[in-house]
Structure formats: C-alpha cells, structure tokens
C-alpha cells in the first residue's frame, strides 16, 4: 500500500469527507480490517482565508509547499493531495522540484507527486462524455483561469460566467459563511437550484455537465437535483487517491 499525504482543514468539513470515504473505499476493496495508510496535515483555515482576502497567494503557495515537502521527506508519502479546489491556484508552485539537504549533507532533487484535483475532474468528465461544463466553486475558481486551464489540457471547455457577478458572490458567500461551518439552509439550496437551471436557460449552448468545483458544494447539490451529469470534485479526487493508495 502506498502512503498518501493529505493537506486538509480547508475546510475541515470537506476534510472529514476525505478521511472517512478514503478509508471506507480502501476497506471495501481490500477487505478485512484494512484502512488507508494516510498522513493528514490539517491546517488552520482562518490564517489562509485571511491571506486569500489580501491576495497574498505567493505566501499561501510558500506555506503549502512547506507542508507538501514535509509530507514527502519527513513522512515518506508517495503522493500528496490538497483537499480543496481553490488552493490548486498555487498547485504549479507546490509541484515544482526543489533541492533538499539530506542528513548526510547531500543535495537531493525532490519532486512533489501532487494528485491534482483538476485531472481527477477531467477523468470523470471523459467518463460521461462531457466536453463543455459549468464550473461552480468559490469566486476564485469561477472567475480565474487556473482550473479552467487545467481542464483545457484535457480538452474540456469551461463556460464563461462573466454575466453573473452577483450570483458568483452569493455562491462564494454560501461556501465560506455556511458550508464551511457545516450549515445548509433551505434558502441557499433554493438559490443554487435556481442558478443551475437559470444558467443553461440563459445560454445558447447547454453545458454537457455541471462540475462541483468546491469540496463543500456536494453538501448542497446532488445528482438527483439536476438533469445533466453532475461531476463531484470531492468524490473524483477521493476515487483517484484510493486507486493510488492501492496501486501495489
């Protein structure tokens, strides 16, 4: 079994899902009392949320790089996963090879084997034949191109949401003010349902699928709520982590 390092806590609600499901799925496949070989590093999300608000992404990338390197070098993890979509904004920085000074005073090249959530989403999109998607998530994920570019590498086009600034702000608020605290309100459920039906109705081109590009959004939207494929980024990421964990 391969040891997997998880950087979580962003938020702890979604990290709970990662830990529980990874272990359950590993046990279902390996049977007996088998559980996953995991090292979970749960960070204080408040610190990162403040940095996000100030636009200090370079500092976020630096901190997460330190966490990822510690998982690989100190804890001997074969793969590292960040249990959130938004922090993949700095994924390229985290995955950059670096020099590590070994206890024997030798410089060793280390590459972070990052399990990118965008690649996992793309695999699920290909399974259902989706080439054009509506991507939901924080305002960073919906308005910036870091996730759209990753999906484009797999031939998947993310539809523009530039005409919905108020809706984007409200989705962002729902994620951080409610879902990250484990709160799901009827008003927010209704808002999300209205948006996922309004968007295709307003567009001349219908999306092939809807991507829940935030690890908390599965708390408020399910496949039964929509009439096109719903790609759950949390589950897509977990499925790949389980596969890598058991690849031996």
Mean pLDDT of 212-228: 93
End-to-end CA, the chain: 6
Mean pLDDT of 96-109: 73
Q: Count CB-CB contacts under 10 A for residue 184.
A: 14
- The per-residue pLDDT for range 153-193, each reduced to its tens digit, is 999 999 999 999 999 999 999 999 999 999 999 999 999 99
Cα 14 from Cα 178, distance rounded (Å): 13
Q: Is the dihedral of CA 226, 130, 176, 182 positive or negative?
A: positive
Tell which phi-psi region holds residue 49, choosing left (phi > 0), alpha (psi between -120 and 50) or beta. Answer: alpha
Distances, alpha carbon 219 to alpha carbons 14, 17, 222, 247, in Å: 9, 10, 8, 30
Per-residue pLDDT at 202: 66
Confidence bin at 23 (pLDDT 50/70/90): very high
Confidence bin at 97 (pLDDT 50/70/90): confident
HSE-up (13 A, CA, CB side) for residue 138: 24
Residue 51 clears pLDDT 90, i.e. is over it: yes
Please report where in the chains the tokens 């699920």 appear, as a residue. 124
DSSP state letter for 38: E
Cα 43 from Cα 24, distance rounded (Å): 23
Residue 100 clears pLDDT 90, i.e. is over it: no
Cα 4 from Cα 244, distance rounded (Å): 8
Q: Which domains does the chain have, with CATH numbers?
A: 4-116+237-245 (3.40.50.1860), 117-233 (3.40.50.1860)
């Amino acid at each position: 079994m391969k040891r997997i390092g998880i950087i979580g806590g962003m938020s702890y609600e979604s990290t709970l899902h990662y830990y529980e499901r990874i272990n359950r799925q590993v046990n279902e496949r390996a049977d007996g009392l088998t559980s996953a070989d995991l090292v979970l590093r749960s960070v204080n999300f408040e610190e990162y949320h403040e940095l996000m608000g100030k636009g200090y992404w370079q500092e976020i990338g630096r901190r997460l790089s330190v966490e990822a390197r510690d998982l690989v070098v100190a804890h001997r993890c074969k793969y590292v996963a960040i249990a959130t979509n938004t922090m993949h904004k700095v994924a390229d920085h985290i995955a950059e090879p670096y020099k590590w000074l070994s206890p024997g005073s030798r410089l060793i090249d280390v590459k972070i084997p990052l399990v990118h959530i965008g690649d996992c989403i793309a695999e699920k999109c290909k399974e259902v034949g989706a080439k054009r998607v509506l991507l939901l998530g924080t305002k960073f994920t919906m308005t910036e191109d870091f996730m759209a570019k990753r999906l484009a590498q797999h031939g998947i086009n993310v539809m523009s949401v530039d005409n919905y600034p108020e809706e984007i702000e409200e989705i962002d608020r729902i994620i951080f003010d409610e879902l990250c605290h484990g709160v799901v309100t009827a008003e927010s459920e209704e808002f999300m349902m209205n948006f996922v039906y309004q968007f295709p109705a307003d567009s001349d081109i219908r999306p092939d699928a809807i991507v829940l590009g935030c690890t908390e959004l599965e708390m408020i939207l399910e496949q039964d709520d929509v009439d096109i494929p719903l790609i759950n980024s949390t589950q897509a990421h977990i499925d790949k982590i389980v596969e890598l964990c058991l690849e031996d």
